[in-house]
Amino acid sequence: MPDKRPTSNLDGQIALVTGASRGIGEVIALRLAEAGASVAVSYHTGAEAAHRVVAKISEEHKEAIALGGDVSQEEDAKLLVSRVVDHWGRIDILVNNAGITRDKLLIRMSAEDWDEVLNINLRGAFLCTRYAIPHMVKQRHGRVVNTSSIVGLSGNPGQANYAASKAGLIGFTKATAREVASRNITVNAVAPGYITTSMVEHMPPDLQKSVLERIPMGRFGTPGDVAETVVFLCTEAAGYITGQAISIDGGLAV
């Protein structure tokens, strides 16, 4: 029997992107909307920026709302998901993108530096997924994409907390993927290398130069490089891919 051709179109799909007020999350939100999805743009401190993202999406005649909250707080994460479902009646796509760094050598790293990064990067993804999955199970359809990092695969000096959170996200992705695969829900991770957002722009110039020399493609990645893969993982065309961590790093980890 010939395969029915799967679609790359996200018309009618409802997406929540955490940390979408700027950086990679903003571009993921814009690209999901371009592909046809209605998008909830989550922010923590950047309300104005999030409303600007919503305005950009609305200019393209697509639907979007801005939702504030701290993903590391259980009540906020629960409310983020329930506000999406109250507004649109369902949630098809969750992109756990919100993330922070608090870089320090291990001997100078405080327990607070550790907790803050783990709480936002890992606990936040757990909480949003925990509250989104029951809706996806009921719908018998869902896509979860977690934003890990090359640092979660290879480690990085000065980033023990961040590396642990991003490696943890990969384990979380694989375990959750196994749990929900039978319900037609896929769970994947992307592992970006060095992407031109405030995270990379704040690196000292000599460090930027030495990183650049190690990237086989000879350039930093763009938020669009990451967003294209995320959008693909959210489509029907990617419906048989689950539990994967896909590197988007210009060959850096090869």
Minimum distance, C-beta of residue 6 to ligand NAP, in the bound complex (Å): 27
Binding pattern to ligand NAP, positions 25-44, x when CB under 6 A?
x----------------xxx
Binding pattern to ligand NAP, positions 185-224, x when CB under 6 A?
-------x-xx-xxxx------------------------
Minimum distance, C-beta of residue 5 to ligand NAP, in the bound complex (Å): 32
Q: Is 162 a catalytic residue?
A: yes
Encoded tokens for 165: 């959170």
From 7, 9, 45, 58, residue interacting with ligand NAP (rule: CB under 6 A): 45
Sign of CA dihedral 99, 102, 104, 107: negative
From 13, 33, 88, 99, residue interacting with ligand NAP (rule: CB under 6 A): 99
Minimum distance, C-beta of residue 180 to ligand NAP, in the bound complex (Å): 22
> Are the C-beta atoms of 245 and 189 separated by less than 8 Å?
yes
Question: Between 27 and 185, whose beta carbon lies closer to ligand NAP?
Answer: 27
Angstrom distance (rounded) from CA 102 to CA 94: 25
Question: Between 121 and 141, whose beta carbon lies closer to ligand NAP?
Answer: 121
Could you tell me which residues come within 8 angstroms of residue 124 by beta carbon, excluding any fewer than 6 positions away?
18, 70, 71, 72, 77, 96, 98
Minimum distance, C-beta of residue 147 to ligand NAP, in the bound complex (Å): 4
Q: Is residue 40 classed exposed, middle or buried when 0-12, 13-18 and 19+ CB atoms within 10 A define those classes?
A: buried
DSSP annotation string for 161-214:
HHHHHHHHHHHHHHHHHHHHGGGTEEEEEEEE-SBTTHHHHTS-HHHHHHHHHH
Angstrom distance (rounded) from CA 69 to CA 45: 8
Amino acid of residue 187: V
97 binds ligand NAP (CB under 6 A): yes
Contacting positions for ligand NAP (CB under 6 A)? 18-19, 21-25, 42-46, 70-72, 97-100, 120, 147, 149, 192, 194-195, 197-200
Which residues are known catalytic residues? Answer: 162
